[in-house]
Amino acid sequence: MNVLLTGGAGYIGSHIVRALQDAGQECVVYDNLCKGNAEAVPECELVVADVADGEALQNAFREHDIEAVIHLAAYIEAGESVEKPDKYFHNNTRIGLTLLDAMRECNVGKIVFSSTAAVYGTPERVPIEETDRLEPINPYGASKLCVEYMLRAYATAYNLGVVSLRYFNVAGAHPDGDIGEAHTPETHLIPLILQVPLGKRENIKIFGQDYGTPDGTCIRDYIHVCDLADAHVLALGATTPGEVKAYNLGNGEGFSVREVIETCRLVTEAPIPAEETPRRPGDPARLVAASQKAITELKWQPNFPELATIVAHAWEWHKNHPNGYET
């Protein structure tokens, strides 16, 4: 199957490209490189263009005989989305519609959508199941949920086959050590913590200590980026025309910010000082996935469920690439 990945030169996209190549699938990366890195996808056809450009998308679909899309291109910072909702609805929601129309125009009938745990907002219960209430508490989650709604309507009306993958907290790096996380600026917890032993920051700030959790800090479910990538390969084979399927992807175990910092201390053998600071806007207290549906229906099996392994792989990457893909 010929697959096009929007945002495929990013952190998650580059690991999916590797998983697709390992599975013998043909893929094309479509990325404007505003956040992505061409160096992360060295052995893949790369189209440098924007998803907002419907004509360029159609050209790419036709030229490469594309049968399926994995749609990753998006802004991803929940905190920032509270300050700049326009950026999120324009770039995440509006370009989703441009993509769907280009797919329709070119008869591309399958899509795997990069959705997020943020569509649940503050969950009624954890672990969260796919049928639980969808009520995002930040514009990032809302911008992604809008795309889920558009996908549902397009599936029904135009026979599109859709799988939405709701990621929990993605971390780690490829065990081969040559691709990993390289965001500028970095906003995610694990890479920020690892900047301390790298000498790039003095301490890690803990955002909020008064959440209703055992140690007062937010709890998240961390998933290895390679396990997440494998789920995309399986999801491509699970699309059915006219149907929408949604799967949570996490490991079903929550770790507090303090526990993640402690794991990083153990893995790096560095002291890693922490500073208590106020809450970051838009953060729910606790997000933990029930991923049984993906395990049962997609036959997904995580290879690296342990937080210590996820951190160890991330540490290996950051130690050897302290400036990401910059040489």
Q: Which residue in 28, 47, 76, 128 binds ligand UFG (CB under 6 A)?
A: 76
Is residue 73 within 8 Å of residue 117, measured between CB atoms? no
User: Which structure tokens are listed for 322?
Assistant: 């302290």
Question: Which amino acid is located at 99 in the chain?
Answer: L
Q: Which residue in 118, 223, 228, 233 binds ligand UFG (CB under 6 A)?
A: 118
Q: Which residue in 11, 168, 300, 317 binds ligand UFG (CB under 6 A)?
A: 168
- How many helices and strands (H and E) does the chain possess? 11, 13
Centre a 10 Å sphere on the Cβ of residue 321 and count the other Cβ atoms it contains: 18
206 binds ligand UFG (CB under 6 A): yes
Q: Which residue in 283, 288, 310, 313 binds ligand UFG (CB under 6 A)?
A: 283
147 binds ligand UFG (CB under 6 A): no
Q: How far is the CB of 198 from ligand UFG (least distance, A)?
A: 15
Residue 30's Cβ-count burial label (10 Å; 0-12, 13-18, 19+) is buried
Near ligand UFG by CB under 6 A, which window of 11-19, 65-73, 202-210, 224-232? 202-210
Q: Which residue in 116, 143, 239, 248 binds ligand UFG (CB under 6 A)?
A: 116
Q: How far is the CB of 272 from ligand UFG (least distance, A)?
A: 12
Which is closer to ligand UFG, CB of 220 or CB of 321?
220
User: Which structure tokens are listed for 271?
Assistant: 């002291």
127: which DSSP letter? S
Which residues, at least 6 apart from 149, have a Cβ–Cβ distance to it below 8 Å? none
Handedness of CA 69, 295, 17, 146 (dihedral sign): positive
Which is closer to ligand UFG, CB of 117 or CB of 234?
117
For ligand UFG, the binding residues in 208-247 under the rule CB under 6 A are 218, 220
169 binds ligand UFG (CB under 6 A): yes
Q: How far apart are CA 169 and CA 248, in angstroms?
A: 11
Which residues, at least 6 apart from 38, have a Cβ–Cβ distance to it below 8 Å? 9, 46, 48
Near ligand UFG by CB under 6 A, which window of 2-10, 187-195, 223-231, 307-315? 187-195
201 binds ligand UFG (CB under 6 A): no
Is residue 143 within 8 Å of residue 286, measured between CB atoms? no
Is residue 95 within 8 Å of residue 29, measured between CB atoms? no
287 binds ligand UFG (CB under 6 A): yes
120, 140, 154, 211: the catalytic one is: 140
Residue of 237, 250, 260, 302 whose CA lies nearest to 123: 250
Which is closer to ligand UFG, CB of 218 or CB of 246?
218
Q: Which residue in 192, 198, 270, 295 binds ligand UFG (CB under 6 A)?
A: 192
Which is closer to ligand UFG, CB of 110 or CB of 220?
220
87 binds ligand UFG (CB under 6 A): no
Looking at the chain, how many residues does it have? Answer: 327
Is residue 11 annotated as part of the catalytic site, yes or no? no
Q: How far apart are CA 198 and CA 287, in angstroms?
A: 29
Q: Which residue in 21, 58, 187, 203 binds ligand UFG (CB under 6 A)?
A: 187
Produce one character per residue of 224-240: b if its CB has 16 or more CB atoms within 10 Å, e if not.
Answer: bbbbbbbbbbbbbebbe
Q: How far is the CB of 64 from ligand UFG (least distance, A)?
A: 28
Chain contacts with ligand UFG (rule: CB under 6 A): 76, 78, 116-118, 168-169, 187-189, 192, 204-207, 218, 220, 257, 280, 283, 287
Catalytic residues: 140
